[in-house]
Each structure stands twice: as structure tokens, then as C-alpha cells.
Amino acid sequence: MSLILNVIWLVLCGFWMALLYTLAGIICCILIITIPFGLASFRMANYALWPFGRTLVPRSGAGAPSVIGNIIWIIFAGWWLAIGHLFTGFLLCITIIGIPLGVANFKLIPVSLVPLGSEIVPVK
């Protein structure tokens, strides 16, 4: 079932979201000081491309630099992304067919808010 949902997600919105996250990652990697945010954007692009069957867990060994980076991320980009995912998720949940896609958008909110110090793993 997750394969079917991932294919529908990929066709309807996953490709475009992943493309935009990748573009943001490239821009962040061009600026030397924002390379950690660029790498986080690439992880988010990977998760936005194929979200069903995977989940977000805290990474062991992530310490104070991740917390400081996440605070900076939330101030400048995280809350905009979270509001976008929340709004899109609500719009998708209006239709019965769109409910799983809306739920996938809600799953992207935590990674869009705090991308540093977490990793994406398959659901077992």
C-alpha cells in the first residue's frame, strides 16, 4: 500500500516539493556558512520525494550545535515551511482521496521545523 501512496504522492506533489528542497539545498551549499542547512534540505528533499513507509527519529550524538542550528532554522525558514505543509495538508484532507496525502504533509512538519539532529529511517 505504501508503494501505491508513494507513487500517487510523487506524481501529485512529491516531485515538486523535492525539487524545491533540492534548490534550497544548492543555494545553502553555495554559501559556505550554511552548508549544514543545505545538507538538511537535501535530506528533506529525499523524505518529501518518498514519505510513506519512513519516519523521523532523533539522531544519537546530536548535541548543542544541532539545537543552535535548529533555532536559527526555525527563525528564518522552519516556521514558513511548517505553515505551508499545514495549509497544504488541510487542503488535501478536504477530499477522501487526499487524506493520506494530507497526512503525509503533516508528517513533513517536524522535519521542516527541526531538520538538524534527526534522521529518516524505514518503518519496520
For residues 77-81, give the mean pLDDT. 87
* Amino acid found at 36: P
Q: Return d(Cα 73, Cα 66) in angstroms, integer.
A: 10
pLDDT at 97: 86
Mean pLDDT of the chain: 88
pLDDT at 87: 92
Nearest one of 121, 117, 123 to 60, comparing CA atoms: 117
For residues 7-18, give the mean pLDDT. 88
What count of other Cβ atoms lies within 10 Å of the Cβ of residue 89? 20
Predicted TM-score of the model (pTM): 0.81
